[in-house]
Amino acid sequence: MRINFRKVTAPVNFDGKTQDFDIARAVGNAMMYNSTVLLDIGFEDLAREIYHSNGDVEIPAQYVKPLAQVIRESAFIATVKREILKSLGEINQV
């Protein structure tokens, strides 16, 4: 699956208003430095790719669950977490 971490569109109120969030650098940093997840060099390479991305990033299947764990542990607001986890297939579509 492909995710654009530079433009995560998430709802911000019950009236349907949305906002775009650029979380690429924060996700990359969380994967490398601020998470309890420690995998392998491939996960670190993915962190760098996300950090430096300008658009969609391909998330390899073996890193979906570890990335979801990083997102769950992150300080992102709930609506952003929810959108990323939906994109990863880690929660049901709302």
**pLDDT tens profile 49-75:** 999 999 999 999 999 999 999 999 999
SS3 of residue 58 by DSSP = strand
Residue 92 counted as domain residue:
no
Question: Looking at the 3D structure of the chain, how many domains does it have?
Answer: 1
Give CA–CA dist 48/29, Å, rounded: 8
Tell me the residue range of the domain where 28 lies: 2-87
Tokens for 16, please give them. 């349907």
Answer yes or no: is 26 within a domain.
Answer: yes
- 37 has a pLDDT exceeding 70: yes
In a domain? residue 93: no
Q: Cβ distance 70 to 30 under 8 Å? A: yes
**Residue 27 near residue 71, CB atoms below 8 Å:** yes
d(CA 63, CA 21): 22
Asked, for residue 19, whether it belongs to a domain, the answer is yes
CA distance 26 to 33: 10
- Any domain includes 67: yes
pTM listed for this prediction: 0.90
